[in-house]
C-alpha cells in the first residue's frame, strides 16, 4: 500500500480527476488479455511529458513501483502491476502531433490506437504497415514497447522497422530523446531499438516518431480452401521459396474457421481442414500479375478452391474476421491460451504437425492459427481456467512445444513477448552471458528497479 | 443474483478488448471502468462474490448508452448489453431509483396520470417552455429546441379502427409516446400511407408506453404492468398481418426486451414471443409493397442516421434507406459512421451531458460533411438529440416516413 502523504504528492501532479484509487478502478486495471491478475494501488493518467517526468521523479525519490499501461491487450501480464504500486495509463495521452507528408514520418503520443492512427495517415495517402491482430485495440506506446508484429510481417516487417525515434522518460524522471526524424541515423548506440521491445522495463515513451510508406495503390485478398492442413503449410513454404512476397499469409485450421464463421457468417466452408488468407498489394499492375500466380501455387498444392475478393469491402470483411479470431475462439471454450513460438518457415508444416501431436498426447484441445508467411505460429489452447487439472495439461503441452521450437532454430516468442508466462523458458534460448548482459542493461536504466517490477528478467530462473 | 441463463456469459469474455474502441463512451473517457470489458469483468467479480456493487460501480453501470455496439462487435458473442441491463435491474431492486426517475416512470406507467399531466402540460407547459431562459439547456439540448406537446394526443384524433375499402391488409398500429404526445406528424404520415395502401388500421386506445425507458433504467418491476398490458392489448384483435411501430425504441422493446425480461424474471414468454414475431418497424413493413406509383418528386438532399434500437437491436439497416431512395428527386448521401450512436441514449444525455456532447459533436460533423439539408432517423430520441445539437445549422430532422408521406401528397 502507498502511504497517503506520498499519494497526495502524486495527486498534486495530475489532479484528483486523473488519479483513481477506488476498488472498481483498481479491479479494472488488474488484468490484460491473459488470465493473469494483479491489483495496483493507484492508477494515474498523465497527459504530458512533464507530468510523466514529475511522476517518475517522485516515484524514484520515494521508491514506488510504476508500471506503464496502454490498452492492456497484451497476453503475458507485461502491463500489470505485478508487485503493486502505480499503473501509469497512457490512454489519455493520445494525440497525433504531426503527420509530415514531405518527409513521410509522423509523431504521435503513446496512447493513440493503432487503427485510428492508420486511418489518419491513410487519409493523406500514407501507410503505417505494422498490423497486429489487435490493431483496433492496442496503442502505439504498447506496441512499441512490445515490438508488436502482426499480419503484414512477411513483407513489411514489425514495429521496430518503422521506429525512427522517441522522447522517453527514464525511471529517474529524466527526459531524453533517442533517434531522429531521418531514415538513416547511426549516431551512437541505437537506444531506440533497444527500448522497443523492452516490455516497458527500461523507459517510457512519451513521443514516438515513425516512418511511413506511400499507401499501396491496390490490394487483393485471396482465400484458399484446403482439405488437408499440410497442403496449406506447403503452399506457404513454396510461395516464400519462389521469391514471391505477399503482404500477408494467414493460416487458419478447421477449429478457427468454425469459430470465426459462427461469429461473422461470411461464408467460410465449415468442412474445410484449413484455409489461407493471402493479401497481395502494390501497384495495380503488380497485383494483377501476382494474384493469379499465388492462386496457381495454392491450386498446385491441392487447394480445393481459391476465391479472389472482388471488392475492398470484401477484403475488409475477411480481415475483420481474421483480426477477431482470438476473441471468436472464446465461443468454443471460456479460456484460450495463445502460444506464439516462431519457426523458420521451411519447418512450418512439421511444426504444425508437432503442435497437433503434442496437444493430442496431452489431451488438450488445440486450434491452429498462424502468420504463416513468417513462420509465426499461434496455437490456441482451448481450456477452462476453472479446471485446475486441465490447466496442468495445457501447461505441459506448452512446455513441450517450446522445447520443440528450440530444437529447430525457432524462438520462444515471435511477437507477443515474454511477460511472466514465458519467463521460465528464457534460459532455453538465452545463454547465461546473454541474461547477465540484459540484467546489467536493466540496471543502467533502472538502478532502483522501480519500473515495471516483476517482469521477465526477475521471473526468469537465475 | 444473476439468472442462470446469463451466468456463463462473463466467462466467455476473453478480454481481447475489441469492444473498447467500439464503445462511444470509452472513446470519450479512455478509462477502463467505463469500457464494456471493464464492466463485464466487474460483473464477473460480483458474480463470484469477490466484489460488491459499490456506488462507483453503480455509476459506471449507468455510464453506458446501451447502444449495443459492444455486443455486436464482440467476437466471443458475449451478450454484454443483456448483462448490463440485468445488473441495472438488480441494482434498482437493492438501492431504488433516484426520485426524479421514480416520478417520471410513475407517470409513464400509470393509466390516468399521464393523460392528466398531458392536459396541463399543453395548457401550461407549452407557454411556460417559451419563458425559459434562452441559453438554458436540458442536458445537451437548448430549451428553445425542446419539442412542444401535440395540441391533442394522436390517439384522440383517430377512431380505434380505420377501415379500408377493398382492404389489402389489416395491421395494428402502436404509435408510442413520442408520436402520441410530441411528434404527431409522424403518426399522421404512417396512417396516411397505410390508408393509401388500402390497409385497415387498428389503433388500440388503451395501449400503454412500451416501458423501455423504465426497464432500461432497471425498474423492471415498475414496467411489468406496461409489458403485460400491451401483450394483452395486442392479442385482442384476432389475426393481423403485423403490429406496426414507428419508433425504433418501441420496436426494440417488443421484439427483444419483453422476451428477455420475462425470461430473466422466470415468467412465461410464450405471449411475448408471439408479439416478437408479429412486430414490424414501419420501414420494414413498407419495403414489402410497391410504393413507386404513388410517389411524387421531392427536391431535397437527405442523409440517414441509424438508431441503435433499429440497426443493432432489430438489425434493420437497409429498409429505411431503401424507402428514401425510392423517392424521385430526393438525393441521398450516406454519412460517415451512420450507425454510430448519436450520444443521446434516452435519459443518458440528461445525466451525462459532458460525455454526450462529445459523441454528438462527431455525429453532427458527419451530417454536415454530407451537405444534406435533411437528416432522417426513425427514433424520436435520436431526432431530439441531433436537432438539439445542430446549433445554427439549417438542417431539418425528420422521420423517414414523414418524407415518404410528403412525396405522396
Pairing of strands A213-214, B169-174: unpaired
A–B interface: beta-carbon pairs under 8 A: 108
In a domain, B117, yes or no: no
Give pTM, 2 decimals: 0.94
Structural domain contains residue B223: no
Q: What pLDDT score was predicted for residue B58? A: 94
What CATH number is associated with residue B17?
Answer: 1.10.1060.10
Q: What is the pLDDT of residue A310?
A: 83
Q: Are residues B162 and B265 in the same domain?
A: yes
- Dihedral sign, Cα of residue A69, residue A75, residue A76, residue A77: positive
Q: What CATH number is attached to the domain comprising B356?
A: 3.40.50
* B349/B278 same-domain check: no
Cβ contact B233:B206 at 8 Å: yes
Residue B75 lies in a domain: yes
Residue B257 lies in a domain: yes
Distance CA(A423)–CA(B300), nearest Å, equals 65
| Residues in B 74-103 with any Cβ partner in A closer than 8 A | 74-78
Asked if B30 has any chain A CB less than 8 Å from its own CB, the reply is yes
By percentage, how much of chain A surpasses pLDDT 70? Answer: 100
Distances in whole angstroms, Cα of residue A320 to Cα of each of A115, A315, A328, A449: 12, 9, 11, 40
* Best A76, A134, A330 residue to mutate vs chain B (most B CBs within 10 Å): A330
CATH class for the region spanning A218-327:
alpha beta
**Chain A residues within an 8 Å CB radius of B57:** 24
Cβ distance A24 to B54 less than 8 Å, yes or no, reads yes
pLDDT digits (tens, 9 = 90+) for A393-434: 999 999 999 999 999 999 999 999 999 999 999 999 999 999
Closest to B12 (Cβ–Cβ): which among A34, A326, A330?
A: A330
Tell me the nearest-neighbour CA distance from B98 into chain A, angstroms: 22
- Give the CATH fold of the A1-215+430-462 domain: 3.30.465
A317 touches chain B (CB under 8 A): no
Instruction: Please give the pLDDT value at position B369.
Output: 97
Query: Mean pLDDT across the stretch A438-451?
Result: 98
Distance from CA of A266 to the nearest CA of B (A): 13
Distance from CA of A136 to the nearest CA of B (A): 7
Predicted local confidence at residue B238, as pLDDT = 86
Cβ neighbours of residue B330 closer than 8 Å, sequence gap 6 or more = B298, B299, B300, B301, B302, B324, B403, B407
Residue-level pLDDT at B125: 66
Interface test with B, best of A14, A16, A23, A24 (most B CBs within 10 A): A24
User: For residue B38, what is the nearest residue in chain A, using CA coordinates?
Assistant: A28
B91-98, Cβ contacts within 8 angstroms, sequence gap of 24 or more: B91/B53, B91/B58, B91/B61, B91/B218, B92/B217, B92/B218, B92/B219, B92/B220, B93/B218, B93/B221, B94/B53, B95/B58, B97/B217, B97/B218, B97/B219
Same domain, B247 and B345: no
Nearest Cα residue to B186 out of B244, B233, B240? B244
Whether residue B332 sits in one domain with residue B235: no
d(CA B203, CA B211): 18
| Residue where one domain finishes, among candidates B269, B286, B303 | B286
The answer to whether the CB atoms of A22 and B13 lie below 8 A apart is no
Question: How confident is the model over A429-447, as a mean pLDDT?
Answer: 97
> Where are the CATH 3.30.465.10 domain residues in chain A?
1-215+430-462
Task: Residue B78: list chain A partners with CB under 8 A.
Answer: 330
Partners of B42 in the β-ladder: none
Of B8, B16, B33, the CB nearest to A137: B16
Q: Please give the share of chain A, as a percent, with pLDDT higher than 90.
A: 89
* CB contact (8 A) between residue B51 and residue A384: no
Q: Which three cell numbers stand for residue A28?
A: 479494472
Residue tagged 438529440 (cell numbers) = B385
Of A136, A329, A336, the CB nearest to B21: A136
| B222 found inside a domain | no
Angle at A302 between CA A296 and CA A307, to 5 degrees: 55
d(CA B155, CA B397): 23
Q: How far is B272 from A319, CA to CA, in rounded Å?
A: 38
Find chain B residues with C-beta within 8 A of A16's C-beta.
none
CA distance A22 to chain B (A): 8
Q: Which of A17, A19, A23, A28 to mutate to test the interface with B (most CBs of B within 10 A)?
A: A28
Predicted local confidence at residue B120, as pLDDT:
64
Please identify, among B239, B254, B286, the residue that sits at the C-terminal boundary of a domain: B286
CA distance B51 to chain A (A): 8
Indicate the residue of B30, B33, B74 with minimum beta-carbon distance to A327. B74
Each residue of A292-338: pLDDT tens digit? Answer: 999 999 999 999 999 998 888 888 888 888 888 988 998 899 999 99
Pairing type for strands A86-89 and A42-44 reads parallel
Same domain, B270 and B307: no
What's the confidence (pLDDT) of residue B95?
A: 86
Q: What pLDDT is stored for residue A40 in this prediction?
A: 98
| Residue A120 sits at the chain B interface (C-beta within 8 Å) | no
Residue B304 domain-assigned (yes or no): yes
Pair (B335, B278) in one structural domain = no
Provide the domain count of chain B.
3
Q: What is the pLDDT of residue B123?
A: 64
Of A24, A28, A327, nearest to B76 by CB-CB distance is A327
Nearest CA in chain A to B55: A24
What pLDDT shows up at residue A326?
87
Interface probe for A, chosen from B8, B27, B30 (most Cβ of A below 10 Å), is B30
Give the range of the structural domain holding residue B168, as residue numbers without chain letter.
155-205+229-286
- Could you tell me if residue B74 is inside a domain? yes
B79 and B168 assigned to the same domain: no
Q: Which residue of B has its CA nearest to A74?
A: B16
The pLDDT value given to residue B191:
97
Domain check: are B187 and B301 in the same one? no
Do residues B260 and B344 both lie within one domain? no
pLDDT in tens, chain B (409 residues): 788 888 889 999 999 999 999 999 999 999 999 999 999 999 999 999 999 999 999 999 999 999 999 999 999 999 999 999 999 999 998 888 888 788 778 777 776 666 666 666 666 666 666 667 777 888 899 888 888 888 899 999 999 999 998 999 999 999 999 999 999 999 999 999 999 999 999 999 999 999 999 999 999 999 999 999 999 999 889 899 999 999 999 999 999 999 999 999 889 999 999 999 999 999 999 988 888 889 999 999 999 999 999 999 999 999 999 999 999 999 999 999 999 999 999 889 999 999 999 999 999 999 999 999 999 999 999 999 999 999 989 999 999 999 999 999 8
Is there a domain that residue B308 lies in? yes
Burial of B315 (0-12, 13-18, 19+ CB in 10 A): exposed
Pick the last residue of a domain from B286, B302, B317: B286
Lowest mean pLDDT among A95-99, A344-348, B371-375: A344-348
CATH class for the region spanning A333-407? alpha beta
Amino acid at each position: 500500500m502507498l502511504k497517503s502523504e506520498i499519494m497526495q504528492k502524486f495527486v498534486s501532479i495530475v489532479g484528483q480527476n486523473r488519479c483513481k484509487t477506488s476498488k472498481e478502478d483498481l479491479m479494472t486495471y488488474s488484468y490484460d488479455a491473459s488470465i493473469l491478475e494483479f491489483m495496483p494501488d493507484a492508477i494515474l493518467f498523465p497527459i504530458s511529458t512533464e507530468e510523466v517526468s514529475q511522476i517518475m521523479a517522485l516515484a524514484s525519490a520515494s521508491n514506488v513501483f510504476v508500471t506503464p499501461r496502454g490498452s492492456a491487450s497484451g497476453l503475458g501480464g507485461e502491463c500489470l502491476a505485478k508487485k503493486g504500486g502505480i499503473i501509469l495509463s497512457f490512454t489519455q495521452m493520445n494525440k497525433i502531433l504531426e503527420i509530415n507528408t514531405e518527409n513521410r514520418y509522423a509523431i504521435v503520443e503513446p496512447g493513440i490506437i493503432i487503427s485510428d492512427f492508420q486511418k489518419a495517415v491513410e487519409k493523406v495517402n500514407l501507410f503505417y504497415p505494422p498490423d497486429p491482430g489487435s490493431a483496433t485495440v492496442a496503442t502505439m506506446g504498447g506496441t512499441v514497447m512490445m515490438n508488436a508484429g502482426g499480419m503484414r510481417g512477411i513483407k513489411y516487417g514489425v514495429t521496430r522497422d518503422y521506429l525512427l525515434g522517441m522522447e522517453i522518460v527514464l525511471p529517474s524522471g529524466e527526459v531524453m530523446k533517442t533517434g531522429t526524424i531521418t531514415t538513416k541515423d547511426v549516431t551512437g548506440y541505437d537506444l531506440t531499438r533497444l527500448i522497443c521491445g523492452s516490455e516497458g522495463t527500461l523507459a517510457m515513451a512519451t513521443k514516438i516518431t515513425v516512418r511511413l510508406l506511400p499507401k499501396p495503390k491496390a490490394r487483393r485478398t485471396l482465400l484458399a480452401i484446403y482439405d488437408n492442413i499440410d497442403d496449406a503449410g506447403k503452399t506457404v513454404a513454396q510461395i516464400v521459396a519462389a521469391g514471391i512476397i505477399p503482404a500477408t499469409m494467414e493460416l487458419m485450421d478447421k477449429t478457427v474457421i468454425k469459430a470465426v464463421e459462427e461469429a461473422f457468417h461470411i461464408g467460410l466452408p465449415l468442412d474445410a481442414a484449413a484455409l489461407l488468407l493471402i493479401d497481395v498489394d502494390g501497384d495495380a499492375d503488380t497485383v494483377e500479375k501476382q494474384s493469379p500466380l499465388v492462386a496457381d501455387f495454392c491450386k498446385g498444392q491441392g487447394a480445393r478452391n481459391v476465391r479472389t475478393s472482388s471488392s475492398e469491402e470484401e477484403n475488409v470483411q475477411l480481415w475483420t474476421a481474421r483480426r477477431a479470431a482470438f476473441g471468436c475462439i472464446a465461443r468454443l471454450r471460456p479460456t484460450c491460451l495463445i502460444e506464439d513460438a516462431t519457426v523458420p518457415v521451411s519447418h512450418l508444416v512439421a511444426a504444425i504437425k508437432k503442435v497437433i501431436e503434442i496437444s493430442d498426447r496431452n489431451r488438450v484441445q488445440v486450434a491452429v492459427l498462424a502468420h504463416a508467411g513468417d513462420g509465426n505460429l499461434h496455437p490456441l489452447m482451448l481450456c477452462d481456467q476453472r479446471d485446475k487439472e486441465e490447466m496442468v495439461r495445457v501447461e505441459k503441452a506448452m512446455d513441450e512445444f517450446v522445447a520443440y521450437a528450440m530444437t529447430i532454430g525457432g524462438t520462444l516468442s515471435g511477437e507477443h513477448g515474454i511477460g511472466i508466462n514465458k519467463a521460465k523458458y528464457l534460459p532455453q534460448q538465452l545463454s547465461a552471458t546473454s541474461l547477465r548482459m540484459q540484467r546489467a542493461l536493466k540496471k543502467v536504466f533502472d538502478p532502483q528497479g522501480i519500473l515495471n517490477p516483476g517482469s521477465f528478467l526477475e521471473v526468469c530462473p537465475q | 443474483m444473476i439468472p442462470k441463463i446469463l451466468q456463463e456469459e462473463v466467462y466467455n469474455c476473453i478480454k481481447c478488448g475489441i469492444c473498447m474502441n467500439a464503445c462511444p463512451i470509452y472513446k470519450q473517457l479512455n478509462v477502463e471502468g467505463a469500457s464494456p470489458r471493464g464492466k463485464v469483468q466487474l460483473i464477473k467479480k460480483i458474480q463470484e462474490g469477490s466484489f460488491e456493487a459499490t456506488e462507483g460501480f453503480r455509476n459506471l453501470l449507468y455510464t453506458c448508452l446501451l447502444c449495443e455496439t459492444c455486443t455486436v462487435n464482440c467476437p466471443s458473442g458475449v451478450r454484454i448489453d443483456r448483462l448490463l441491463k440485468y445488473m441495472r435491474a438488480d441494482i434498482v431492486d437493492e438501492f431504488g431509483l433516484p426520485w426524479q426517475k421514480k416520478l417520471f416512470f410513475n407517470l409513464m406507467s400509470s393509466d390516468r396520470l399521464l393523460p392528466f399531466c398531458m392536459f396541463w402540460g399543453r395548457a401550461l407547459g407549452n407557454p411556460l417552455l417559451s419563458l425559459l431562459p434562452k441559453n438554458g439547456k436540458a442536458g445537451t439540448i437548448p430549451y428553445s429546441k425542446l419539442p412542444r406537446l401535440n395540441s391533442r394526443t394522436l390517439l384522440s384524433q383517430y377512431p380505434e379502427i380505420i377501415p379500408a375499402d377493398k382492404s389489402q391488409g389489416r395491421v395494428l398500429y402502436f404509435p408510442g409516446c413520442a408520436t402520441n404526445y410530441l411528434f404527431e406528424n409522424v403518426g399522421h404520415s404512417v396512417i396516411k400511407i397505410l390508408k393509401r395502401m388500402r390497409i385497415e388500421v387498428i389503433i388500440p386506445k388503451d395501449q400503454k408506453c412500451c416501458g423501455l425507458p423504465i426497464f432500461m433504467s432497471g425498474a423492471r418491476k415498475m414496467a411489468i404492468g406496461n409489458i403485460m398490458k400491451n401483450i394483452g392489448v395486442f392479442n385482442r384483435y384476432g389475426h393481423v398481418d403485423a403490429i406496426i411501430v414507428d419508433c425504433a425504441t418501441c420496436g426494440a422493446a417488443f421484439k427483444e426486451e419483453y422476451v428477455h425480461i420475462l425470461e430473466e424474471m422466470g415468467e412465461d414468454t410464450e405471449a411475448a414471443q408471439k408479439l416478437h414475431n408479429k412486430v414490424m418497424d414501419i420501414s420494414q413493413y413498407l419495403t414489402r409493397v410497391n410504393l413507386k406509383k404513388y410517389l411524387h418528386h421531392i427536391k431535397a438532399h437527405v442523409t440517414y442516421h441509424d438508431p441503435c434500437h433499429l440497426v443493432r437491436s432489430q438489425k434493420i439497416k437497409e429498409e429505411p434507406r431503401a424507402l428514401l431512395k425510392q423517392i424521385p428527386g430526393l438525393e441521398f448521401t450516406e454519412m460517415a459512421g451512420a450507425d454510430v450512436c448519436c450520444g443521446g441514449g434516452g435519459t443518458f444525455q440528461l445525466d451525462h451531458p459532458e460525455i454526450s456532447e462529445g459523441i454528438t459533436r462527431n455525429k453532427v460533423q458527419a451530417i454536415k460533411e454530407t451537405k444534406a439539408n435533411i437528416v432522417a432517423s426513425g427514433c424520436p430520441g435520436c431526432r431530439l438529440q441531433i436537432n438539439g445539437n445542430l446549433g445554427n445549422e439549417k438542417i431539418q430532422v425528420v422521420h423517414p416516413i414523414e418524407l415518404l408521406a410528403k412525396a405522396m401528397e
